[in-house]
Chain A
């Protein structure tokens, strides 16, 4: 269980997150944690609940809210993903998602820089904050400390360039033999965001099922991930708002899911109906526990949630 000092820090952190978005005229929303169907995602296994599911992300409901006319919304909520456990994973974790209309993924990158700046103003004075003077202290492998400058602007690196720089094989080769994730984890991620935070952007379109393809290059999706100290913190993208194209992508995802899990999943029809009413928009999911872990100078997400599985 988190100690009193930790609980206070976590509460101040949540308060600061909310204040930032409220100040920017975002509307705080809440959507059901338990839903009858989720967006089809091959690599996310939901936790079942009496024939329904615990949400893996509030994305489906929040995008329907955008389609209904909301222009800036955010939500801080708990999400669930079955079987995810480790230093950076808990089956139940805290997510911050925000969405904007009339925006693209580069606007979300700017949001991230501004958000962290605002958090530091509120939290730097607290204990145990690992940030001083916009510098985040992290422990290295040998126990030696390093410092990561959080001062904006942060680094931006395309996925192609990252593979060219750090991977032993090209991104095309990795995609062809289905080792993109393995190479990313083994060779690329450990180099990302080590001196200052980094946005890894423009993923192969196959890896952004809900992201808009890049203007002028349909092989890429306008999707990015934020990395600090080799740790992936947020996944954002320009939303795919073409409901025909989204239906085709879901069909592909659903057929892969049927093969893998031998169970039929449903097409989210009402989501697709609503998508037709949505114009340009962008949205992002931030792993709040991981960010808190970095700010508190901890090594695992289990150390910064009020109760971890080991506490029961």
Chain B
């Protein structure tokens, strides 16, 4: 159990059976009044926001969360297959639970999968991934008239804007938090 005094940014609590993460926290206590713990929280399942004010006596359950190291094996349609690298158990996660992460997932990639009550609810990626460019318009050298970026497609099918010098077959680094190009990688 957590009490209101434990509340802080980043804390995970369970409310009405749903795990929430505290995204914003403010302690206030009007002159000689009650301590108020004002929280903004995000559901770790639906992403919905919850704004709530708690008092000192409020208590919270700890959500049953577990993070497991898993390897992404392959995908079949909307189904993404993973293997627990500890016990070699395999499981399938639906595309909708993976969100934008599918843009950066390549076969045999190591990832952390977050389980709530034994159901996978989220995956965390490395902050940067290196992906191969599979489709790019050629860059006309010396072309100064064009814009300073162009769209390319990487091996996962994800399309992003990169500088004009990036070519098909290059490996580029992508920031998985923003989905943006970082740099070209020499191998």
Q: Which residues of A come within 8 Å of B, CB atoms?
A: 41, 43-44, 83-89, 180-182, 184-186, 189, 207, 209, 225, 232, 235, 260
Contacts and interface: CB of A to CB of B under 8 A. Distances in A.
B29 interface: yes
A232 B31 contact: yes
Q: Is the interface of A mostly helix, strand, loop or mixed?
A: mixed
Contacts of A44: 32
Contact of A85 (B27, B31, B36): B27
B8 to A, nearest CB: 9
Nearest to A233: B31
A43 B27 contact: no
Contacts, number: 51
Contact of B28 (A41, A83, A86, A207): A86
A180 to B, nearest CB: 7
A232 B30 contact: yes
Given A43-B35, A84-B35, A181 B27 contact: no
B122 to A, nearest CB: 29
B38 interface: yes
B36 A182 contact: yes
Contacts of B36: 181-182, 185
A232 to B, nearest CB: 6
Contact of A83 (B5, B32, B33, B34): B5
Contacts of B35: 43, 83-84
Nearest to B32: A43
A225 B31 contact: yes
Nearest to B4: A83
Nearest to B53: A182
A43 B33 contact: yes
Given A83-B5, A185-B38, A186-B53, A207 B33 contact: yes
Contacts of A180: 33
A6 B53 CA distance: 34
Given A182-B34, A209-B32, A232-B31, 17 more contacts: A43-B32, A43-B35, A44-B32, A85-B27, A86-B27, A87-B27, A88-B27, A89-B29, A181-B33, A184-B30, A184-B33, A185-B30, A185-B36, A185-B38, A185-B53, A186-B53, A225-B31
A263 B28 CA distance: 25
Nearest to A208: B32
Interface in B13-51: 26-36, 38
A209 B53 CA distance: 25
Contacts of B27: 84-89
Contacts of B56: 83
Contact of A87 (B26, B30, B32, B33): B26
A85 B9 CA distance: 13
Closest 3 A-B residue pairs measured CB to CB? A86-B27, A181-B33, A235-B31
Given A83-B5, A181-B36, A43 B29 contact: yes
Contacts of A184: 30, 33
A92 to B, nearest CB: 15
Contacts of B5: 83
A243 B53 CA distance: 37
B23 to A, nearest CB: 16
Nearest to A260: B57
Contacts of B34: 43, 181-182
B53 to A, nearest CB: 6
B26 A181 contact: no
6 contacts: A43-B29, A43-B33, A84-B29, A84-B35, A88-B28, A225-B30
A85 B27 CA distance: 7
Nearest to A200: B31
